[in-house]
Structure 1
Amino acid sequence: MFHDTVARVMVVAGIALMSLLGPTHRASAEAANPPRADGPSTAVRLDYHVPQGRTLEAGDTVWFSVQGMPPGWDRVEITSPALVQPITLTPLKKGSTESVQTNKAGTEHRIRPGLRPGAYPATATSHGRTVATTRLEVAAEGSAEISRFVIGPPDAFPGGEDSAPVRPGSDVRLVLTDLRAAPGENSVTVSSPVFDTPVTLTTGSADDPGCKCDDGGTVYAGHARLRGDVPEGRYPLTALSHHGRQTTNRQLTVVGEPLPHGSSRTTVATAAAAAAALASAGVLVVRRRSRRAAASA
């Protein structure tokens, strides 16, 4: 009775975890392994899943599932040179064509730490027969995972993955979101031919737009001014992160005539403040002169 209860708990936990995982990575046995005459006519699909839909890295936990298994199947084993050890799948429930990953004590459902980046084969077998295959796309351990890296006018809300066109000489805001930020990294550096000097983006910046699309990631943001002599065209935008070990490249588009010097929002605000100060000083002078004239009369 106790063992039956534990088994039910493990199945329920597996189902709940799969609902929290991100997009699946799929391969169909129909393409990799044509159906055999004595095998099931329906293609079996092998998927792998990574928490929050992130890129699979060396050392990461990974979950597998199969769908389309024939009635009566009882066990599938997943093997790959990328895995720490084989992973076993069993039916989600009796008679089910779907699976749940078993999680016995001492098992490690992980990619091997220190594995080189690349595509690694994964094979699903049942009683010695291959039922499906796929390839695991593995990134280097500790890699950045940039969900978005955008640039646009300061008053634009950069909620998407594409940068907005910018004008020469204009003020711009930059936002970079890393789902796997390096520990202790509070700033990243961005360089481009459109800037006079590299731009530093920081966490906790007032330029952070606070977009829900950045949930789960570390947001680096900042602002800068484009050079006024930049011709129209597309230019590289490069971020240096992970303590100088990784670069991320994007393209920005420059369009339109250069903004005249002093037409940016910051400069206009400064000029307005200066004008207000001068106006106040003028009123004060006029009042003083009026008082002196009255005293002389």
Structure 2
Amino acid sequence: MQWTQRTRTVVATAVGMGALWLGGAPAAVADDGRGSVVADDGPGEVHLLLNGAFGNRPGELIDIDVRGVPDRDGVTVTSPVFRHRVRLAPYGHGHDGRGHHARPAITMGVAPGTYPLTVHAGGRVVAEDRVEVTAPRPPEFRVSAPDDVLRPGERLGLSFDDLRPGATGDSFTALSPAFRSKVRLTHDPRGRHWNNPRMFTALVALPLDVKDGTYKVTLTGPDGSRVQERPLVVRAARPGDSDYVGKVRGPAFFATAGRPGAARAHGHKAEAGGTVNVLWRDASPDPGEDERLTATSPAFESPVPLTRDDSKAGDGAGPRYFGPARVRPGLQSGRYPVTVISHHGRVKRTGHLLVTGAAPAASAGPGGPDRALLIAGAGAGAGGAALAAWAGVRVLRHRSRGPEAAGTAAVGEREPQV
């Protein structure tokens, strides 16, 4: 299954409407570090960008973008991979510069090979490139990743690659005893697989109470007929697994105008009637805990939902969660426990918050820390999104399956730490 499309940019230095680049290395280009080639803008240059120039199958789309041609209506592309000449549409409103764009599909019957692609404008050739075509493949239904074991509550990706001659239907359905209900797979033309018009995908979360076992996942077509089946292995975390109790730190506390990095598990003071942020860290949270972690305390007006930190400052480290807690007004000064329970009750940690006198009238509200401060405080931390929604039908988690190292303690054995 093709997950990544390579992009190639060709620069043709134009004389009037002609092109001087007819093969060889592009002129004035620089690598952008992502496997693409980006051309320097300059007067009299025609930029041809092919997103999908490599490894296409018959039926896949090629994104063609031509910039620097003044002709608004007469830009076309010809290639043996297309059944007809392709007319490019001029950029609409909201785009800078002169440009034309189209997404034609490679003809289904094209044999594997490398084919020329030519851009025409004003009756002349203004740019040329090549398109690589690979052999077609049979339809493929995928559930998660091969030999992967899923936890109850975990999300998994479903995909059906149905790129073949004569394929029909705009949605498919997956059924399994492991799912609460039927799951509909659809094609998203704006998604990751825009280039494959016959790629159908879905995300589904396993129920938290699903039992250990191997389940059958059946894909059915629009008419309800069976298409393909795949196995799905589910097993809850057990003692000795690295994610059985995770690697938690907290709860800790920081001020509403502060940063999570300044949080303290001991000695933090908050005023009665004021607001304090509760921080929790776990390098291997249970599936689904992003939506159900809370902090409770007799000092709080109500339980506090802890939300995963998706700011730039949260990148490059184990998952962290925080939420603003409103301290009860009129509360007596003292040391109050704050408790977080995770991993289906297997982990229970308690920190202590020092409550002082009543907060002044201008006290900050319960809006949480300034996200701009979190982003500004990221520094040179390693990048990487805190959670991918979808990563080419890979399961959304990061953890080891091996036994936990000797440092994992039983529930409640260690003092909260940050």
- Give the TM-score normalised by the residue count of structure 1: 0.39
Q: Whose strand fraction is larger, Structure 1's or Structure 2's?
A: 2
TM-score, normalization by structure 2: 0.29
Structure holding more helix per residue = 1
Question: Which structure has the larger Rg?
Answer: 1
